[in-house]
Amino acid sequence: MNHIPRNAGAPATVLVTGGAGFIGSHACVDLLDHGYEVIVVDDHSNSTPQVLNRVERIAGRFVGAVYELDIRDRRALSAVFDRHRVDAVVHFAAHKAVGESTRMPVEYYDNNLGGTTSLLAAMRDHDVRRLVFSSSCSVYGDAGGGPLDESAPARPTNPYAASKWLCERVLADVCRHWTCLAVLCLRYFNPTGAHPSGLLGEDPNGEPDNLMPYVAQVAVGRRKRLRVFGGDYPTPDGTAVRDYLHVMDTVEAHRIALDRLSGSRGMRVFNLGSGQGSSVLDVVAAFSAACGRPIPYDVVERRPGDVPELVADARAVGRAWGWRPTRDLAAMCRDAWHFQQLNPHGYAGSARRPSIKE
Ligand code: UD1
């Protein structure tokens, strides 16, 4: 374990909403590894509390406290801020399935937007002025080919994406009026992979929506065949192109964001991506190489709401912070496969961890 001292003036205690989720749990490890105190709030609607035992095992340190609550519960959330002197918040808690959002738009706006405004109210009441917000490249929608920088217009094509865009608008406007608030919105492209230990990874409840966990579950024999959604896109091999980003690179950017929030005000938005486009079939080939077995698949209809290509121009964050992803698609597949092999049924069956129920 590599303990690097916190930068002078950096926040000491970070509240992580959605800290038991895929990106949240990796962020907790990274923050603990770098000397932060971590408080987790999670309603476990798409995560298991057990994951935090593993976070502590990897980091060799304890998470300060874990609260099982829905952040829209203002009384309960306020009690967490009463109990801990929170210096900054990293806000991951959200519903995130594009397809589901088209069937449950009201729930997506209520949860994602309502959760964010409830969090802002608690931060205001407790004078917490630093926030890193988990946004999404999906705010760009169908923007055509070519790498997109942060000035590309927002044209969300589904309620999930629209809810992230609305959160960004609310945060920008609140920053204009609450002038000591400092917010960094990170628009991720496609975070995937796993912690190199194989202890943490992506373990969605039920059938995976996202490509990499689906491929991994086919590779390990939990699912028979991958469905490749659409083979007739205007891309080199006809399958949709995305910009995949290793989760360890993703969470490193969040930690740098926290450091950079100290002493700043207002809101900034950055893309987090690699600038490299990979098609669905590229991912299948890379995963096959990592696991040493073929991934059977069928090309089926396009998935509603999908766009042909989304690739980041992430040079702005590189210029501002010197952050660049260092792990390629082969490393993402290797680490995702390592996790899947060690945990063929995900976190099911690992030791139960009690959380504080508000
Ligand atoms: C979407 C969002 C992204 C969000 C992520 C979180 C868009 C454009 N992007 O990513 O912002 O962070 O969800 O969940 O809305 N695929 C298959 N078979 C499968 C699963 C996926 O072929 O079983 C294909 C998809 O059609 C897509 C690609 O793989 O072309 C990646 O899909 P996925 O992993 O679900 O991510 P996005 O939809 O790109």
Residue nearest atom 19 in ligand 1 by C-alpha distance:
211
R_g of the chain, CA atoms, integer Å: 19
Contact (CB, 8 A) for 233 and 144: no
Question: How open is the CA angle 106-94-189, to the nearest 5 degrees?
Answer: 110
* Closest CA to ligand 1's atom 6: 96
Which of 160, 214, 233, 244 is catalytic? The answer is 160
For the stretch 78-132, pLDDT in tens is 999 999 999 999 999 999 988 889 999 999 999 999 999 999 999 999 999 999 9
Q: Is the CB of 6 within 6 Å of ligand 1? A: no
- From atom 22 of ligand 1, which residue's Cα is the shortest distance away? 228
Calculate the average pLDDT of the chain: 93
Q: Is 45 helix (H, G, I), strand (E, B) or coil?
A: coil
User: What confidence category does residue 2 fall into, taking pLDDT thresholds of 50, 70 and 90?
Assistant: very low
| Spacing, Cα 339 to ligand 1 middle (Å) | 20
- Under DSSP, the state recorded for 103 is H
Answer yes or no: 297 catalytic. no
Distance (angstroms) between ligand 1 centre and the Cα of 207 equals 14
Q: Tell whether ligand 1 has an atom less than 6 A from the beta carbon of residue 137.
A: yes
Q: How far apart are CA 213 and CA 203, in angstroms?
A: 7
Q: What ligand 1 atom has the least distance to the C-alpha of 239?
A: 30
Say how far apart CA 64 and CA 21 lie, in whole Å.
17
3-state secondary structure of 74: helix
Q: Which fold has domain 13-357?
A: Rossmann fold (3.40.50)
- CA-closest residue to ligand 1 atom 33: 210
pLDDT (tens digit, 9 = 90+) per residue, 52-73?
999 999 999 999 999 999 999 9
**pLDDT by residue (tens digit) across 238-250?**
999 999 999 999 9
b/e code 270-286 from CB counts within 10 Å (16+ = b): bbbbbbbbbbbbbbbbb
Q: How far is CA 108 from the centre of its chain?
A: 16
Distance (Å) of CA 80 to CA 12, 70, 193, 304: 16, 12, 31, 39
